[in-house]
Structure 1
Amino acid sequence: MSTIPSPAGEALLSVDGVAKSFTMHLRGGLRLPVVRNVAFSLRAGECVVLGGPSGVGKSSILRMVYGNYAVDEGAILVRDAGTGAMEDLGAGDPRTVLRLRERSIGYVSQFLRAVPRASALEVVADPLVRLGVGRDEAGARAAAMLARLNLPEALFDLPPATFSGGEKQRVNIARGFLTDHPILLLDEPTASLDSANRDVVVAMIREKLVRGVAILGIFHDEPVREAVATRILDVSRFSARLAA
């Protein structure tokens, strides 16, 4: 994947004045505000951790930045790795969202959503194949990543639907870390892992930071958070619920 580097010190992600609410259609259209006036930026080599108690909107912010949730107001500007221009992902244009996901923003969610009957190796290699990497090379790189995360080789060719929670999470992490997206979103990536594999993931995060990747994440595992965070952003200040 060919990328245009960002000028030194310029933001790869800029969130400005973002607000989000949900409409409860089964409750007569009740509007439930979640966050408002969300504003922060993310630069190359930073690991910004979204902090604060449960329910303040951390996951909602992460999902808005990935384009899963539309914003009510404000802008989410993402630097397009192909052109170097800042694109407004928050505007919700599907083509913009898909283009930015393809080459600018990677995402590791808490839960693996895999294609039925696809093997673990195919699930992990798929993002590289979509970027034009040959299947043999993509498979070899996927296998190396799974091996680093201590997934037994006997599981490589099996569909991950029957894997344990920790095994599924390792497949998910391998898939998200295999590509070279300049921005990486992490939603509690170590929640189901044992201490040995948590250490592996911490090392992988640090390697990404050294290479200039900008990381935005949620880490409830305090030792992991302390090991990787360059800055903690308290989301409580944006919470519409706490302010209500």
Structure 2
Amino acid sequence: MTLLHTSTALAETIVLSASDVAKSFTMHLRDGIVLPVVRNVGFDLHRGECVVLGGPSGVGKSSILRMVYGNYAIDEGQILVRDTASGAMHDLGGGDARLILELRHNSIGYVSQFLRAVPRVSALDIVAEPLTARGSSREDAVVRAAALLTRLNLPEALFGLPPATFSGGEKQRVNIARGFITDHPILLLDEPTASLDAENRDVVVAMMKEKLAKGIAILGIFHDLPVRDAVATRMLDISDFSARKTAA
């Protein structure tokens, strides 16, 4: 294979590409003070790899995940995401709400640190919803949701209850099941195992490895070192992009 063909083949495995990304926050209630977060962020994410965002607390790791998911607008640069429907790379950094929703539907899954569930909706329906939103029958979605919750050791007695009164670990297992039930080609994970016991942590590690084996790309934050060591294929030190460090 020629160098050109090698480069082309490698480029085709990229599902996410960030370049020259900068982010700051303006404190409008504090005389418009601007707090820089990151600048010159650049990296590629390939199919089947797990890139771990590293660096000390407050350096901008969670902010990068939220920018990639479209929750935070960016000041500069671009964040290209491959659309599974067309295969094209689209820039969600421009803040186009319709494009962001489309890419979330087709391309990007996300497990946050905390479950934010609609009140009075059962755990089973919360987990099943991403499948029904993508066209699966409710019957099939509920069966798959129940299987995931069982695998994550959530008591069956809780399946039909809203998670508002669940423990932190129980809520997070519902959150993980919801994020893992689909096969989005990109999966963003923000400390998914932080509130889990060792047994359920091992279950989630196995689930992540299965995703990677399917060619799904994971971009995540893992302060739990055994989890990081088990799944990381590459570390990305966000300290290198810290705008506050540069400004200091």
- Same structural fold, with TM-score higher than 0.5 when normalized by the shorter chain: yes
CA deviation string 1:110-156 (max 9, x = no partner): 11011110000000000001001000000000000000000000000
User: In 2, distance between residues paired with 1:241 and 1:225?
Assistant: 26
- Which residue is 1:154 aligned to? 157
- Which residue is 1:164 aligned to? 167
Indicate which of 93, 103, 113 corresponds to 1:90: 93
- Which residue is 1:4 aligned to? none
Deviation at residue 8 of structure 1 after TM alignment: 4.8
- Which residue is 1:102 aligned to? 105
| Alignment pair present for 1:221 and 2:224 | yes
User: In 1, distance between residues paired with 2:84 and 2:217?
Assistant: 12
SS in 1 for 2:77: strand
| Alignment pair present for 1:80 and 2:83 | yes
Deviation at residue 105 of structure 1 after TM alignment: 0.1
CA deviation string 1:154-187 (max 9, x = no partner): 0000000000000000000000000010000000
Deviation at residue 26 of structure 1 after TM alignment: 1.1
CA deviation string 1:201-223 (max 9, x = no partner): 00000000000000000000011
Indicate which of 17, 25, 32 corresponds to 1:22: 25
TM-align CA RMSD: 0.8
User: In 1, distance between residues paired with 2:199 and 2:157?
Assistant: 20
Q: Which amino acid aligns with 2:186?
A: I
| Alignment pair present for 1:51 and 2:62 | no
Task: Map 1:139-150 onto structure 2 (within 5 A).
Answer: 139-150=142-153
Task: Map 1:177-216 onto structure 2 (within 5 A).
Answer: 177-216=180-219
User: In 1, distance between residues paired with 2:156 and 2:93?
Assistant: 40
User: In 2, distance between residues paired with 1:118 and 1:83?
Assistant: 34
Q: Which amino acid aligns with 2:209?
A: R
Q: Which amino acid aligns with 2:227?
A: V
CA deviation string 1:89-115 (max 9, x = no partner): 111000000000001000000110111
| Alignment pair present for 1:31 and 2:44 | no
Deviation at residue 197 of structure 1 after TM alignment: 0.2
Deviation at residue 242 of structure 1 after TM alignment: 1.1
Deviation at residue 80 of structure 1 after TM alignment: 0.2
* TM-score, scaled relative to structure 1: 0.97
| Unaligned 5+ runs, structure 2 | 1-7
| Unaligned 5+ runs, structure 1 | 1-6
- Which residue is 2:137 aligned to? 134
| Identity rate, percent | 76
Between the two proteins, the alignment pairs up a number of residues equal to 238
User: In 2, distance between residues paired with 1:206 and 1:20?
Assistant: 31
